[in-house]
Amino acid sequence: MKIIMLGAPGAGKGTHAKGIVEAYHIPTISTGDIFRQNIKEGTELGKKAKSYMDAGELVPDELVCDLVVDRLEKDDAKDGYILDGFPRTIPQAEALTAALKEKGTAIDYALDIEMSDQAIIDRMAGRRVCSGCGATYHIVNIPPKKEGVCDSCGGTLELRKDDTPETVKKRLDVYHEQTAPLIAYYKEQGILHEIDGSLGVEGVKAKVKEILGE
């Protein structure tokens, strides 16, 4: 099963990808996580990506496409995967379609989690991310057992660098301009499924299950 998670920043792509991983045992490939890991490790890729990410801009396509196509070759992705945060532009989507076509395969589902900009701005103020393992929480919707501490690894929970209100607004502008056109792209391919992201964690999870089946 090959799945793309679409939706604005903070719509819940990562949160619900995690639910799919648990239910279907396929890996998540998150370009945002790959870049954040590279920044943490101080790699060349991380150095290149950092300034774009901190400003709420997209990392250039040429730094993203080969990275993802190579990742799809790994053994753990042979029975399927969830792409979280990729593709994010029409050229990225076209590169993915072409790479998969070469292998005689294609994406099965594009799940678009829909949220209004205002709801996203309100929600992002409450997101906290573990500085150790990257697990995501929300101070109201998905709180950790102990305030400020990760349930999984005991790491400190913090606000992501690009989650300040100004950067979130910039990321939303970039989303509408460069990423939202992918909704029409995948609708045309007949694989788009729209999900109301305001349904709450359990509501969205149930919708995803309904779409993907048991």
What amino acid positions are annotated as catalytic residues? 13, 88, 127, 160, 171
The identity of residue 113, as a single letter, is: I
Q: How far apart are CA 82 and CA 42, in angstroms?
A: 26
Site for ligand AP5 in 176-195 (CB under 6 A): none
164 touches ligand AP5 (CB under 6 A):
no
Q: Find the length of the chain.
A: 214
Q: How far apart are CA 129 and CA 158, in angstroms?
A: 5
Site for ligand AP5 in 105-124 (CB under 6 A): 123
Span of 27-35, 73-81, 96-104, 185-193 interacting with ligand AP5 by CB under 6 A? 27-35
85 touches ligand AP5 (CB under 6 A):
yes
Q: How far apart are CA 121 and CA 166, in angstroms?
A: 10
Pairing type for strands 192-196 and 157-158 reads unpaired
28 touches ligand AP5 (CB under 6 A):
no
Span of 104-112, 147-155, 183-191, 200-208 interacting with ligand AP5 by CB under 6 A? 200-208
138 touches ligand AP5 (CB under 6 A):
yes
21 touches ligand AP5 (CB under 6 A):
no
Minimum distance of ligand AP5 from residue 155's CB (angstroms): 16
Which of residues 31, 38, 193, 208 is near ligand AP5 by CB under 6 A? Answer: 31
Minimum distance of ligand AP5 from residue 146's CB (angstroms): 16
Report the residue number, 170 or 187, with the smaller CB distance to ligand AP5: 170
DSSP three-state, residue 211: helix
The sign of the CA dihedral 203, 198, 157, 161 is: positive
Assigned token pair, 123: 């929600």
Assigned token pair, 166: 């100004």
207 touches ligand AP5 (CB under 6 A):
no
DSSP three-state, residue 82: strand
Q: How far apart are CA 11 and CA 9, in angstroms?
A: 6
The position carrying tokens 């992705």 is 77
Q: Which residues are near ligand AP5 by CB under 6 A?
A: 7, 9-15, 31-32, 35, 52-53, 56-59, 64, 85-86, 88, 92, 123, 127, 136-138, 141-142, 162, 171, 197, 200-201, 204
